Amino acid sequence: MTKKKLIAGNWKMNGSLAANEALVKALVAGVGTPACAIAVCVPAPYLAQVQTLVAGSPIELGAQDVSARAQGAFTGEQSAAMLKEFGVHYAIVGHSERRQYHGETDEVVAAKTAAALANGITPIVCVGETLAQREAGQTEEIVKRQLAAVIHVNGHCISEIVVAYEPVWAIGTGKTATPEQAQAVHAVLRAQLHHAASDHAAGIRILYGGSMNAANAAELLAQADIDGGLIGGASLKAPDFLQIIAAAS
C-alpha cells in the first residue's frame, strides 16, 4: 500500500489576515519535501488569502464545512462548487461541533459528503462518540451508525473519502485517546469500509483527531490503521504542526 499519511489542520474559528499570513509562511518555509500529504482547513473568509499563501507548496487547502445544496436560497452557506473555485481540495464534513451546535444529522452529513464528491472535493468525514456514549459501551455502535449513513448514500465512490475518528471527549480537552483506544476504533471503521468496498478499503485514509499534538503524534501515527491526523489546537502553532508533519513522514 503506497498510501501517504494525511496531516490536516482544522483552524476552526481562529485566525486573522495577519495571523494567517505568519502561520502559513512559517509552515511553507519549514515544510521541506514532506513524505505525507498536508492540508489546512481554514475559515471560509480566508480561503482566497490562504490559497495564495500555499500556492506552489505541498500544503493543500481545505474548508471546514460545505453545503449539501448546489445553489439557491440557503443564507450563510457555501456550495462545493464555490469552494472549488478557490482551490479547495478537502472539506471537513460532520465535525462534532457541527453536529452539536448546528444540529447536523447523519443524513445531512451524508448529503454534504455527496456534494463534496460531486465537485471533486475530498470530504473528511468525522465520526466519534461522546464521553457518555463511551462510558455506556456504545462507541462501536455510534461510529458505525455515523459511517453507515455516509456509505449508504455514497457507496459507489466511498473509496474517495477520508474518514476522521474524533472522540468528542478528546477534542480540545487535552485528553487524547490512547493509541490502543484509537486503533481499536480505527480497526472497526476499516472493517466496515472493507465490507462496503473490499478492494479499496485498505487505501482509504482514516485519520485520528482529538488533542493530537507534537508530543503524542508519533505514537498515534504508528498504529496500523491510523493514516494521519486531524489537528485543531496544535495546527495553529507552526512549530507544533511541523513536528506532527515530521512524525508522519
Binding site for ligand PGA (CB under 6 A): 10, 166, 171-172, 209-212, 230-234
3-class SS of residue 114: helix
Check: CB of residue 30 under 8 Å from CB of residue 243. no
Check: CB of residue 215 under 8 Å from CB of residue 233. no
- 50 versus 201: smaller Cβ distance to ligand PGA: 50
Q: Which residue among 60, 104, 129, 166 is the active-site one?
A: 166
Kindly state the smallest distance separating residue 195's Cβ from ligand PGA, in Å.
Answer: 26
Kindly state the smallest distance separating residue 41's Cβ from ligand PGA, in Å.
Answer: 9
Q: Which residue among 60, 95, 129, 186 is the active-site one?
A: 95
- 37 versus 201: smaller Cβ distance to ligand PGA: 37
> Which class for 66: exposed (0-12), middle (13-18), buried (19 or more C-beta within 10 A)?
buried
Kindly state the smallest distance separating residue 10's Cβ from ligand PGA, in Å.
Answer: 4
Question: Is 135 among the residues known to form the active site?
Answer: no
C-alpha cell at 67: 453545503
Q: Up-side HSE of residue 71: CA atoms within 13 Å toward CB?
A: 3
Question: Is 95 among the residues known to form the active site?
Answer: yes
Kindly state the smallest distance separating residue 132's Cβ from ligand PGA, in Å.
Answer: 18
2, containing H or E segment:
none
- 62 versus 233: smaller Cβ distance to ligand PGA: 233
Residues recognised as catalytic: 95, 166
